[in-house]
């Protein structure tokens, strides 16, 4: 995800301080990865350099000066381009789990153990996400559903791999 474009989207609702942007980002998008303050301010510096944000005001206080940032018309255009461009679907044809299964078969190890261990790990994560989703607000529920559906697809692949393991073993085993 582009942090800069996400910050532009948050600024579209009105000018904010870097601290406020970090909090808004973490509230909406930082379920498992909160944004570091340094990353917020370095991203704002780049957006400022590129003319996508402007300093809307500077406030003095007991600590360092606090700048308020606002999105520029160029920033709005960049945000609109990003939002209207579809994300490239990921077809992960080089997958570590697939590699492990093939190597287990090639080495004479039990590939069922590899697949079973992965299924257990997926189920543990899915149980945790489902528990967290039940207590989450609608925005967080949507992101939890996104992750759960991807994990469900992985589980379908794991079941398919188990059903094809004998055939794979006959084909590639030494």
- Planar angle of CA 133, 139, 140, nearest 5 degrees: 30
**Residue 60 is encoded by which pair of tokens?**
């003095």
pLDDT in the model for residue 94: 66
Average pLDDT over residues 89-94: 69
Q: Which of 135, 131, 127 is nearest to 155 (CA)?
A: 127
pLDDT in the model for residue 49: 97
pLDDT in the model for residue 89: 74
Classify domain 3-84 by CATH architecture. Answer: Orthogonal Bundle (1.10)
- Domain coordinates of the chain in residue numbers? 3-84, 96-172
Question: CB under 8 Å, gap of 24 or more: what pairs does 166-169 form?
Answer: 168/101, 168/102, 168/105, 168/111, 169/105, 169/111
Beta bridge partners of 41: none
Per DSSP, 35 falls in state: P
pLDDT tens per residue, range 93-147: 668 888 899 999 988 889 999 999 999 999 999 999 999 999 988 988 998 999 9
**Residue 169 is encoded by which pair of tokens?**
């073993």
* Higher pLDDT among residues 51 and 34, named by residue: 51
């Amino acid at each position: 995800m582009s942090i800069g474009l996400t910050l532009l989207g948050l600024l579209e609702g009105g000018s904010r301080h870097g601290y406020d942007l970090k909090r808004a980002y973490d509230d909406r998008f930082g379920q498992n990865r909160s944004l570091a303050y340094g990353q917020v301010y370095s991203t704002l510096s780049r957006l400022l350099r590129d003319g996508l944000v402007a300093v809307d005001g500077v406030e003095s206080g007991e600590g360092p000066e606090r700048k308020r940032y606002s999105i520029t018309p160029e920033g709005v255009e960049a945000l609109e381009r990003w939002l209207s461009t579809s994300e490239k679907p990921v077809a992960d044809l080089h997958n570590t789990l697939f590699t492990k299964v093939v190597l287990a078969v090639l080495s004479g190890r039990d590939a069922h153990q590899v697949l079973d261990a992965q299924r257990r790990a997926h189920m543990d994560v899915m149980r945790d996400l489902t528990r967290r989703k039940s207590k989450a607000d609608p925005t967080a529920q949507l992101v939890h559903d996104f992750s759960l559906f991807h994990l469900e697809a992985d589980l379908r692949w794991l079941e398919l791999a188990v059903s094809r393991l004998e055939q794979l073993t006959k084909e590639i085993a030494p």
